[in-house]
Amino acid sequence: MSKIVIVGAGYAGVMAAAHLDRAGIPFTVVNNHDYHYFTTLLHEAAGGRGPAENYQVPIKEVLRKDTSELVIDEITGVDREKKVVKGKAGEYAYDYLIYSLGWISEYFGIKGLKENSMSITNLDSAVQIRQHIENEFKAYTQDHDPRHLRIALGGAGLTGIELMGELVDYIPTLCASLGISYNDVDMQCIEAMPTILPMVAEHLRPYVFETLTKKGARLRTGTKIMEVTPGVVHLDGGEKVEAGTIVWTGGVRANPLLADSGFTVDRRGKAKVNSFLQSTDDDHIFIAGDSAWAEDENGKPYPPTAQVAEQMGACVAHNLAALLAGKPMKNFKASLKGTLCSLGAEVGVGDAFGIPIKGATAGLMKEGSKIKYLWELGGVRLAGDRGKNVMQL
Ligand code: NAD
């Protein structure tokens, strides 16, 4: 019997695992936690909307059959010649590998940025950001140093704007609980490009500005971060922003293991795949999610989004099952349903199937997308049990 190993239980890996589990095909998932977390909702955990446990599902709740095995380990490399993935705790031999180790922050070589900022890369780091902000605000009540109340976010893409949306809802409550005037808080999102949210229709961007600035945020465009030293963001015009909390939300790249393991990668470290999502370097390796350099029928690379990752996960499970059964595999084609950007718990902005939406409609659709995802992962069982947590019902 062929040995199947899945590395990484993000959106792509866990979806592939759920499909193989349902099909009763034996496999092993190697992941660094025993839970799968919702990467697209980490800004909620960082901004204090809900406790960390609301944003995760134990992998054992997804894998129900005894043909599925979960191993907790951190993967450090792939030896394609020996067909072995290496972890810190052991080695895992495979006949077929599903590689879905996701992304890391992209720092673009900006001096001091990695060392002197936080980033929302996983559930732990999201919780650390919330705790850090709370500690800074508590410190302000002791020494009244205004730097404790300054929060600087670097980059106004979806991550930066969604995090700011959470902060403008949460920080007033935090201030009230500590006896701090919200007027003394300075929260700024610093964006190098002339506009925020390039993926959202241009005519909707003023709504984002209005919603967030009315609630106390500053959105600064055309302002590039050049360097970060401890507690200081250095901007291109020479201005220095002294901030107790500095969060980098300026971009992502694929996990570097792919490049380190000799795969053909693009400028953001994604490995080239064919239309079946097999590595072009090795057809025993399927690559799914933000690590995959996959293109649509017009040669346009798919974006590193959760909806694409989930669909890739389902596709690699299907193709692997087909391959093992001697049946034809199918070409991957993502169905792009749109982009939704929350602006706090109530409202949002984006598009559904190309139709621009904003306000409560977008906020509700974003909430609905949480249940839809859980449904696809584990049917009524997960949507019912976990859905009420993640939607705080
Ligand atoms: P991004 O690359 O989309 O946005 C980063 C922003 O940072 C850009 O606007 C960029 O111009 C800016 N930036 C880069 N360098 C800078 C500098 N030196 N100074 C100031 N600004 C700088 O990154 P992201 O927002 O983390 O998103 C990453 C991926 O994840 C995207 O594909 C996105 O679609 C996806 N994502 C989706 C959702 C959602 O669907 N709601 C949420 C978060 C992320």
Pick the range with the lowest mean pLDDT from 147-156, 238-247, 365-374. 365-374
Answer for the pair 314, 292: CB distance below 8 angstroms, yes or no: no
CA dihedral 314, 320, 321, 322 (to 10 degrees): 110
Where in the chain are the domains? 4-105+252-336, 113-248, 337-393
**Overall average pLDDT of the 29-46 stretch:** 95
Which residue, by CA, sits nearest to atom 15 of ligand 1? 250
Closest to 81 measured CA to CA, from 276, 281, 230, 215: 281
250 CB near ligand 1 (under 6 Å): yes
Mean pLDDT value of segment 103-117: 97
- CB of 158 within 6 A of ligand 1: the answer is yes
Ligand 1 pocket residue status of 162, Cβ below 6 Å = yes
pLDDT band at 115 (very low <50, low <70, confident <90, very high): very high
pLDDT over 90 at 168, yes or no? yes
Using the mean position of ligand 1's atoms as its centre, give its distance from the Cα of residue 312 in Å. 21
For the domain covering 4-105+252-336, report its CATH number: 3.50.50.100
In this model, does residue 94 exceed pLDDT 50? yes
Task: Measure the CA–CA gap between 271 and 277, rounded to whole angstroms.
Answer: 10
Percentage of residues of the chain with pLDDT beyond 70: 98
Q: Over pLDDT 90: what percentage of the chain?
A: 88
Q: What is the pLDDT of residue 383?
A: 74
- Residue 378 is predicted with a pLDDT of 78
Q: Which residue has the tokens 């095909």?
A: 25
Rounded Cα gap, residues 105 and 107, in angstroms:
6
Distance from residue 378's CA to the centre of ligand 1 (Å): 30
Q: Is 289 in the pocket of ligand 1 (CB under 6 A)?
A: no
Of 5, 78, 70, whose CA–CA distance to 36 is shortest?
70
Instruction: Decide which of 165 and 382 is more confident.
Output: 165
Provide the pLDDT for residue 392: 59
Task: Look at the block and give the residue holding tokens 């971060």.
Answer: 225
Give 370's pLDDT tier (boundaries 50, 70, 90). confident
Mean pLDDT of 368-373: 85
For residue 217, the SS3 value is strand
Q: Which pair of structure tokens corresponds to residue 129?
A: 């950001």
Residues 41-55, mean pLDDT to the nearest whole number:
92
Interval 194-250: pLDDT, tens: 999 999 999 999 999 999 999 999 999 999 999 999 999 999 989 999 999 999 999
DSSP conformational letter for 256: T
Buried/exposed 116-153: b ≥16 CB within 10 Å, e otherwise: bbbbbbbbebbbebbebbeebbeebeeeeeebbbbbbb
Is residue 388 over pLDDT 90?
no
Residue of the nearest CA to atom 23 in ligand 1? 251
With a cut of 0.90, is the ipTM above it? yes
With a 6 Å cutoff on the Cβ, whether 348 touches ligand 1 is: no
pLDDT tens, position by position, 259-304: 999 999 999 999 999 999 999 999 999 999 999 999 998 999 998 8
CA angle 378, 272, 282 (to 5 degrees): 85
> In this model, does residue 393 exceed pLDDT 60?
no
Residue 143 has pLDDT above 90, yes or no: yes
- 162, 166, 191, 367: the active-site residue: 162
With beta carbons less than 8 A apart as the criterion, state whether 175 and 185 touch. Answer: yes
Q: How confident is the model at residue 148 (pLDDT cuts 50, 70, 90)?
A: very high
Please give the CATH superfamily to which domain 113-248 belongs.
Answer: FAD/NAD(P)-binding domain (3.50.50.60)
Distances (CA, A) of 312 to 11, 56, 154, 287, 334: 9, 20, 30, 8, 8
**Annotated catalytic, 81?**
no
Instruction: List residues bridging with 95 in a β-sheet.
Output: none
pLDDT category at 64 given cuts 50, 70, 90 is: confident
Q: Average per-residue pLDDT in the chain? A: 94
**C-alpha 161 – ligand 1 centre gap (Å):** 9
